[in-house]
Amino acid sequence: MTYGDDPITWNEREDDLLGLNTYTYVPDMSAIMQSGNRYVYGLNNPLKYKDPSGHIAIVDDAVIVLILAGGAAYTASAAWLNSKEGQRAVQNTVVVMIDGVSYMGNALGFVINDVISWGQGASISSAKGSKQSGKEKANDRPDWSKHYPKQPDESGKDYADRVMNEKYGAGNYKKGPGSEHNKLKKWGDRGGK
Partner 1 sequence: MDEVYIVSFELEDREVFCLWYSDEKGKDSLLKDNNRILTFNSVEHINAYCIKNALPLSKNPTHKYNLNYIILEIENPVFSADKILDFWNIVEDISRTAGIEFCGNFLTDEVNNLYDKLFFASNIPAIRGNDPEYIPTWDATERELLMNIVHKGVLMTKEFVFY
For residues 21 and 14, what is the distance between their CA atoms, to the nearest angstrom? 7
Q: Does 175 bind partner 1 (CB under 8 A)?
A: yes
CB of 106 to partner 1, least distance (A): 21
CB of 95 to partner 1, least distance (A): 30
CB atoms within 10 A of CB 159: 20
Long-range contacts of 98-102 (CB under 8 A, 24+ apart): 99/65, 99/69, 100/62, 100/65, 100/66, 100/68, 100/69, 101/66, 101/69
Q: In this chain, which stretch among 63-71, 81-89, 100-108, 157-165 interacts with partner 1, using CB under 8 A? A: 157-165
Can you spell out the DSSP letters for 158-187?
HHHHHHHHHHH-TT-S--STTSHHHHHHHH
For residues 169 and 132, what is the distance between their CA atoms, to the nearest angstrom? 43
Angle, CA of 120, 122 and 125, to the nearest 5°: 170
Give the residue with the Cβ less far from partner 1, 96 or 160. Answer: 160
Query: Contact letters (x/-) for partner 1, 75-114, by CB under 8 A?
Result: ----------------------------------------
Q: Does 169 bind partner 1 (CB under 8 A)?
A: no
Residue of 94, 105, 106, 104 lying closest to 69 (CA atoms): 94
Q: Kindly tell me which residue out of 7, 78, 85, 144 binds partner 1, with binding defined by CB under 8 A.
A: 144
Give the residue with the Cβ less far from partner 1, 140 or 153. Answer: 140
Q: Does 117 bind partner 1 (CB under 8 A)?
A: no
Residue of 129, 127, 106 lying closest to 118 (CA atoms): 127
CB distance 168 to 160 below 8 Å: no
Query: Contact letters (x/-) for partner 1, 15-54, by CB under 8 A?
Result: --xx-x-x-x------------xxxxxx-x-xx--xxx--
Interface residues with partner 1 (CB under 8 A)?
A: 17-18, 20, 22, 24, 37-42, 44, 46-47, 50-52, 124, 128, 132-133, 135-137, 139-145, 147-148, 155-157, 163-164, 167-168, 173-178, 180, 182-187, 189-191, 193
